[in-house]
Amino acid sequence: MRLPLSLLVVFAMTTLATAQSKPAGPAVKDEPFGTAPEIPNPADKAKPIRPESKITAYTLVNKSGAWVKILTLGGIIAELHVPDRDGKLGDVVLGFDSIDGYLKDSPYFGCITGRVANRIANGKFTLDGKEYAVPVNNGKNSLHGGTAGFDKMVWKADASLSAHGPTLKLTYTSPDGSQGYPGELSCVVQYTWTDANELRIDYSATTNKATVVNLTNHSYFNLGGHASGTVLDHELTLAADKYTPTDDSLIPIGKIEPVAGTPLDFTKPAKIGARIKQIKADPVGYDHNFVHGDKNTAEPKLCATVTEPKSGRVMEVRTTEPGVQLYTGNFLDGKVKGKGGAVYPQYGAICLETQHFPDSPNQPTFPSITLKPGDEYRTTTIYKFGTAK
């Protein structure tokens, strides 16, 4: 039986703003988080791309008192407080204290990216013999759904307490032709914050016309705490012995090659900073799609493990997706001021974006991201937090 949301607010919020607080759970609380202005629609002034909208922040607390805050704007994971080896809670995702930062300065902090995460070469693809053009917003390519992707949309929210922990179901319907993509796409993204400190994200979508879809979450993790400096001493293991090489604009060249003998080999634990300067890129750093399968799996499988030595925090990533994009905050430049006035330096976080491969619509040898009427897009990713013994 679903309880009214008002009855789910069972914890005191007097000290919730601090990383050390331990509110009682399981519980859900919602509170205002500012207003997102209208995004005009040049093609139809009467139907803005995004109407002016009130944004709500939902806080999910599990039995142990660990908690996550999620916004209806872009499904953004704004805060994620998990214990270190001494049981002290710390916020391990980069972000902002107010809506203004997410509207003006955010490099996709914590958001849902879509319709198509990652890049589409030259902002074009062909589907069923017809060429489609989508916005170019990353050099000559389209990135994360275009100029008004899912990260900028306001999602409808439904919060509840489930048998597995507090849950937030977000829904959004993308109109046919939005950002150039065909088909009306109905999306559901459900966050579940379990008592085992697992953030489970279940994605699903249906369409009324053949289209392409590739959703992910773009959280920036720093297990030492969001304001603790770089992640270069974090230890990373990837269950992937191959990757997709790219050109200088990060578009795959169509090959899948082994990581052995390259700075991309994380099949055994290695510090993120150990070989990062060997990467030939501008700016230098990891921004690569790793391959750990050739199709979706029925159940989430381990694809990555990250350990932070000082706090002892460990994050395991499991997914049904065949790829994961490793990004090390290369474009962070110390100018973006985040929560509590924190300045986020280059390499100040690690992103592990579970996904199908970049530019899949233009790469016939890659797993397909085409979705047709009558079919359902489904994928699951789990970020599990613990501590090293």
If you average pLDDT over every residue of the chain, what do you get? 94
193/80 Cα distance (integer angstroms) = 10
Closest CA to 89 of 40, 149, 185, 20: 20
Catalytic residue, candidates 198, 308, 321, 353? 353
Torsion sign across C-alpha atoms 218, 5, 13, 66 = negative
Per-residue pLDDT, 337: 92
Tokens in use for 204? 């699903």
> Cα separations (Å) of 351 from 168, 256, 308?
22, 21, 14
43/298 Cα distance (integer angstroms) = 41
3-state secondary structure of 306: strand
165/162 Cα distance (integer angstroms) = 5
Per-residue pLDDT, 24: 77
User: Which residue numbers in the chain have pLDDT < 70?
Assistant: 1-23
**Is 234 a catalytic site residue?**
no
Per-residue pLDDT, 105: 81
Point out which residues pair with 386 in neighbouring strands.
Answer: 314
Per-residue pLDDT, 22: 55
Contact 142, 148 (CB under 8 A): no
191/197 Cα distance (integer angstroms) = 12
Per-residue pLDDT, 247: 97
Tokens in use for 307? 């350990």
Closest CA to 321 of 339, 301, 347, 350: 301
The CATH number of the domain covering residues in 5-387: 2.70.98.10
Catalytic residue, candidates 81, 144, 218, 292? 218
HSE toward the beta carbon, residue 377, CA cutoff 13 A: 30
103/95 Cα distance (integer angstroms) = 12
Residue entry with tokens 């030939």: 280
**Is 218 a catalytic site residue?**
yes
Per-residue pLDDT, 7: 41
DSSP state of 210: -
Domain boundaries, the chain: 5-387
